[in-house]
């Protein structure tokens, strides 16, 4: 993972140390640690979703190794907002130490508390709101409203005697947000005048020119599509995107339709959002999906999960007719969501399935039903010019995003040597207004697979990739312990290699002959005999099938 590991020096008094444990060189598992005078503050603690080269993995966590033995030093975890890539790893951190305090806005804490409940953890929490200032250990924290694709997101300013750091979390600068809660540029200006020593800034859309369009532009499109739909309407989006759901609810109500939520996370999150006042549903609009099925087709909008083509989510199951609600001729399906890179094929499989059932599928490819939640290049330039930070550390993004963000900073006059291109585990010290890389920790990926955390290694994933591409051949031979003579076998079992195991009949005598020869020349050791088996069948399968399955030779003495 890190290319150039070296240890940081002992932290000097009066110096602030910052080291990201996740979110750099990737989109997900955001987590950054601040250290001052022996105390640690964590900002965000999210998960990363696996890609195709990480088969079978459920989730990927930040590597807690650098702080694992310092859990008592953690004075708090600030959660900037409630998305999985910022809060999803909190349960795994709290399993190491349950009483680490969580700090965040009302909605953010409500979402993490619901998640922790499933892990049977009741956390210590401190609810904060924009404008609020809190001293947590040696860290003087100020929270600032930012606009994002989930309500109640916060940036955090961290003051220590070493200087002022501003971490944006995820944000954009929609100037007409649905809830009127804009990214607080007045607060940014005040911080800029005070002097921002280090700026940790969202890079997700730094390579997108211009400005992210307003969320408000989606409502009229939804309204128009719904008003023209002759039968049922099914909208899929992210289950945390309260404002998107709000617009669906509003468009449904305006067209005399009721709304039913589908999918466990959608139901859970919207219940929370409505209870806390983030989602406003007119009386009599919501309906349970079971009762909704009795309504006339043109009186209902289903709001569901599954916009990324996830095979177990509601929308995929509908497309496969594995859900109580079966889409058909005249129904309209709206995917009011992005296409996260890597998910395109799964999304298009769902779109094709729904189209085949007769549904009219509206998605971002053919209508303006999605806008991003992240600031594009134009917005980031505003931030740099308002803040004029002394040092910049682009975070949250693949390398090309971090690089693009650094270039934007430099375009506004920040010197190249003051824009730090870091990776996960890079240790940055801030001292006398200068931020510098002082170390690179050796950290990696922590895989959650089933009930295990960190037990599946990269070597296991490599094995899985080989197995998944080529299958395996297991060859079992029982030999007489004294004579080395073959007593039983070779028995060959293969999966994913050939239609049936009879193709291996021809190689069995070759294996037996190779073993006999080895025994005759004095080989008795099981491992050496296994290697003889491996070489013989390996050569055969490569020559006869032109393939390289995994070979598992087992020689048993009996």
Looking at the annotation, which residues are catalytic? 202, 374
Region of 199 (left: φ > 0; alpha: ψ -120 to 50; beta: rest) is beta
Tell me how far CA of residue 432 lies from CA of 164, 198, 237, in angstroms: 11, 11, 46
**Residue closer to a copy of itself (CB basis): 189 or 544:** 544
Structure tokens at 75: 């004075």
Q: Which helix (H) or strand (E) holds 551?
A: strand 550-557
Q: Is residue 81 marked as binding?
A: yes
Does residue 508 belong to the site contacting a copy of itself (CB under 8 A)? no
Does residue 348 belong to the site contacting a copy of itself (CB under 8 A)? yes
**Residue closer to a copy of itself (CB basis): 235 or 361:** 361
Q: Is residue 374 marked as binding?
A: yes
Q: Which of 555, 545, 554, 556 minimizes the C-alpha distance to 471?
A: 545
Burial of 399 (C-beta count, 10 Å sphere; 0-12/13-18/19+): middle
CB of 558 to a copy of itself, least distance (A): 5
Spatial distance between the Cα atoms of 269 and 84, rounded to a whole number of angstroms: 12
Tell me how far CA of residue 399 lies from CA of 114, 315, 541, in angstroms: 33, 33, 41
Does residue 267 belong to the site contacting a copy of itself (CB under 8 A)? no
Exposure letters 193-204 (e unless 16+ CB within 10 A, then b): eeebbbbbbbbb
Binding-residue pattern over the window 19 to 58 for a copy of itself, x denoting contact by CB under 8 A: ------x-------------------------xx--xx--
Among 319, 456, 519, 529, binds a copy of itself (CB under 8 A): 456
Please report which residue ranges of 195-238 form alpha helices under DSSP H. Answer: 218-227
Q: Is residue 297 marked as binding?
A: no
Residues 199-228 that bind a copy of itself (CB under 8 A): 207, 209
Among 176, 487, 513, 528, binds a copy of itself (CB under 8 A): 487
Please report which residue ranges of 33-105 form alpha helices under DSSP H. Answer: 65-68, 84-87, 90-94
Structure tokens at 82: 């409630």
Does residue 119 belong to the site contacting a copy of itself (CB under 8 A)? no
Under rule CB under 8 A, how many of the chain's residues touch a copy of itself? 65
Q: Is residue 352 marked as binding?
A: no
Q: Applying CB under 8 A, which part among 91-99, 288-296, 412-420, 457-465 lies near a copy of itself?
A: 457-465
Among 329, 469, 517, 525, binds a copy of itself (CB under 8 A): 469
Spatial distance between the Cα atoms of 185 and 251, rounded to a whole number of angstroms: 31
Does residue 114 belong to the site contacting a copy of itself (CB under 8 A)? no
**Residue closer to a copy of itself (CB basis): 80 or 203:** 203
CB of 210 to a copy of itself, least distance (A): 12
Q: Applying CB under 8 A, which part among 113-121, 278-286, 287-295, 451-459 lies near a copy of itself?
A: 451-459
What's the chain's length in residues?
Answer: 558
**Residue closer to a copy of itself (CB basis): 528 or 556:** 556
Does residue 545 belong to the site contacting a copy of itself (CB under 8 A)? yes
Q: Which residues contact 54 (CB under 8 A, 6 or more apart)?
A: 60, 445, 447, 461
Transcribe 351-366 into DSSP letters.
Answer: HHHHHHTTPEEEETTT
CB of 404 to a copy of itself, least distance (A): 9
Residues 352-411 that bind a copy of itself (CB under 8 A): 352, 355-356, 361, 365-366, 398-400, 403
**Residue closer to a copy of itself (CB basis): 234 or 361:** 361
Spatial distance between the Cα atoms of 327 and 329, rounded to a whole number of angstroms: 7
Spatial distance between the Cα atoms of 385 and 407, rounded to a whole number of angstroms: 14
Cite the annotated binding site for Zn(2+) by residue number: 81, 83, 85-86, 148, 170, 396
Site residues (vs a copy of itself, CB under 8 A): 25, 51-52, 55-56, 207, 209, 341-342, 344-345, 348, 351-352, 355-356, 361, 365-366, 398-400, 403, 449-452, 455-457, 459-461, 463-465, 467-472, 474, 476, 478, 487-489, 491, 493, 495-499, 544-547, 550, 552, 554, 556-558
Cite the annotated binding site by residue number: 56, 58, 81, 83, 85-86, 148, 170, 239-241, 370-374, 396, 449
């Amino acid at each position: 993972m890190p290319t150039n590991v070296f240890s940081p020096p002992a932290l000097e008094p009066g110096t602030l140390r910052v080291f990201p444990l996740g979110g750099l060189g990737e989109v997900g598992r955001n987590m950054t640690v601040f250290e001052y005078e022996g105390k640690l503050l964590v900002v965000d603690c999210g998960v990363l979703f696996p890609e195709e080269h990480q088969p079978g993995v459920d989730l990927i966590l930040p590597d807690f190794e650098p702080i694992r033995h310092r859990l008592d030093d953690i004075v708090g975890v600030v959660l900037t907002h409630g998305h999985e890539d910022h809060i999803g790893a909190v349960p795994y951190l709290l399993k190491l130490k349950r009483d680490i305090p969580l700090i965040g806005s009302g909605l953010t804490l409500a979402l993490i508390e619901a998640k922790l409940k499933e892990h049977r953890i009741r956390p210590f929490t401190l609810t904060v709101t924009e404008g609020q200032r809190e001293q947590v250990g040696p860290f003087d924290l100020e929270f600032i409203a930012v606009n994002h694709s989930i309500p109640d997101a916060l940036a955090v300013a961290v003051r220590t005697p070493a200087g002022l750091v501003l971490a944006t979390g995820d944000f954009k600068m929609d100037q007409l947000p649905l809830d009127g809660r804009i990214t607080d540029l007045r607060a940014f200006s005040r911080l800029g005048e005070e002097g921002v020593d280090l700026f940790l800034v969202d890079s997700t859309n730094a390579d997108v020119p211009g400005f992210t369009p307003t969320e408000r532009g989606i409502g009229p499109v939804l309204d128009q599509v719904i008003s023209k739909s002759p039968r049922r309407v099914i909208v899929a989006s992210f289950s945390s995107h309260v404002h998107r759901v709000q617009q669906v609810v509003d468009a449904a109500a305006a067209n005399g339709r009721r709304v039913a939520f589908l999918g466990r996370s959608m139901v859970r999150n919207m219940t929370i959002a409505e209870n806390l006042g983030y989602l406003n549903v007119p009386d009599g609009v919501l309906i349970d999906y079971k009762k909704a099925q009795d309504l006339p087709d043109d009186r209902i909008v289903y709001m569901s999960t599954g916009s990324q083509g996830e095979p177990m989510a509601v929308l995929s199951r509908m497309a496969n007719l594995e859900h109580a609600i079966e889409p058909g001729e005249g129904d309209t399906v709206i995917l009011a969501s992005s296409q996260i890179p890597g998910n395109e094929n799964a999304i298009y499989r769902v779109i094709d399935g729904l189209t085949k059932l007769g549904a009219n599928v509206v998605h971002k490819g053919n209508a303006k039903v999605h806008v991003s939640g992240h600031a594009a290049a134009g917005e980031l330039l505003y931030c740099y010019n308002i803040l004029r930070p002394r040092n910049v550390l682009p975070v949250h993004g693949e390398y090309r995003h971090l690089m693009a963000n650094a270039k934007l900073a430099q375009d506004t006059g920040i010197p190249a040597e003051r824009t730090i291109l870091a990776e996960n585990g890079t240790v940055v010290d801030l001292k006398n207004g200068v931020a510098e890389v002082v170390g690179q920790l050796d950290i990696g990926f922590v895989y959650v697979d089933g009930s295990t955390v960190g037990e599946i290694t990269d070597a296991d994933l490599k094995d899985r990739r080989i197995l998944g591409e080529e299958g395996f051949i297991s060859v079992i031979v029982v030999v007489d312990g004294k004579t080395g003579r073959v007593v039983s076998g070779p028995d060959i079992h293969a999966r994913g290699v050939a239609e049936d195991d009879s193709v291996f009949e021809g190689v069995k005598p070759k294996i037996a002959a190779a073993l006999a020869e080895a025994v005759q020349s004095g080989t008795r050791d099981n491992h050496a005999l296994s290697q003889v088996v491996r070489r013989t069948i390996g050569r055969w399968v490569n020559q006869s099938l032109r393939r390289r399955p995994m070979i598992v030779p087992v020689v048993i003495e009996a």
